[in-house]
Amino acid sequence: MCYGKEMEGFRPSQGGSYNWNADPGQRWMLSAAKSGIPAEVFKAEALSNSPPHCMTISGCSSDNGGTNLKSDYYDDFADYLTEVVLHFRDSYGMNLVEHCAKIPEN
C-alpha cells in the first residue's frame, strides 16, 4: 500500500456510502474550536489537499508531483467536496468559508 492511501476520507470508495464517523480527531478539533470561540468570531474553512485515493491517478492521497486527480473524476470530486461541506453545515451548524489563504502555490 502506498503512503497516504490509508488517509481516512468520508467516502472510502467511489460509489460507496459516506461515513460521517470518519476522522474523529479532526471532527473533535473542529467542534472544540467552535464551542470555544464566540459564534460571531468563529470561522472555519474547508481545504482539500487531495481527492480521496479512489479518485487519484496514483491510487494514493499523497502527492505524486503533479495533478493527481483522474481526468474523468472532476465532477465526482466536486460532488464529494459539496457533500462534505453541506454535511458540516447541516449537521454541525458550520458555514465553512472559502479557502483564501495567500499561499504562492494557490
Whether pLDDT at 96 is above 60: yes
How far, in Å, CA of 43 to CA of 28, rounded? 16
Q: Specify the pLDDT at position 87.
A: 92
Q: Specify the pLDDT at position 75.
A: 94
Where do the structural domains in the chain lie, given as residue ranges? 24-92
- Whole-model pTM: value is 0.79
Q: What is the DSSP letter of 20?
A: T
Q: Specify the pLDDT at position 71.
A: 92
The share of the chain scoring above pLDDT 90, in percent, equals: 25
Contacts of 50 (CB under 8 A, 6+ apart): 4, 7, 56, 61, 62, 63, 68
Place of cell 492511501: 5
**Per DSSP, what are the bridge partners of residue 63?**
none
Residue 53 burial (C-beta neighbours within 10 Å; 0-12, 13-18, 19+): buried
